[in-house]
Amino acid sequence: MNGTKTNHRISAYQSGYYISLFGAALILLWIGIFKFTPTEANAIKPLIENHFLTFFVYNFVSVQAVSNAIGVIEIIIALLLIFSVKFASLKRLAGFGMVATFLITLSYLFTTPGVWKVVDGVPVTDFFILKDLMLLGFGLMILNEKK
């Protein structure tokens, strides 16, 4: 009986892992593709130009080129996640890419003026960026996986 419960737990864990993996890949792929649009390029401009690590990039390349580069990075990480199912050696690269990407994007919450607002006495932000907290956590899980 105990072995059945253990197998069920492993199966549930594996199912959750793969749902998270493919969910993260879908989000990265979708947002990465969206980075190639002028709407998204302009939307991320205030984030990029007010960050201590990225403020200078617009001195060298266009708003769209920066957005395209970020899109390529997000798409590559998504593909690494997907292919890590078959090629385990890609898992660490995907995890590292996720951790680096989402640490930077979450830091925009603290470097971009006006990103926080108070609505009815509650501090709020553009909630789309908060998905990166979960994705950062999943990236850390992947990076620290022992397999």
- Could you list the pLDDT tens digit for every one of the 147 residues in the chain? 455 555 666 688 889 999 999 999 999 999 999 999 999 999 999 999 999 999 999 999 999 999 999 999 999 999 999 999 999 999 999 999 999 999 999 999 899 998 888 999 998 887 677 889 999 999 999 998 875
3-state secondary structure of 98: helix
Q: Which DSSP helix (H) or strand (E) runs through 10?
A: helix 2-34
As a whole number of angstroms, the distance between CA 36 and CA 11 comes to 38
pLDDT of residue 130: 82
User: Residue 131 corresponds to which amino acid?
Assistant: K
**8 A C-beta contact, residue 75 and residue 97:** no
**8 A C-beta contact, residue 92 and residue 140:** no
As a whole number of angstroms, the distance between CA 77 and CA 93 comes to 8
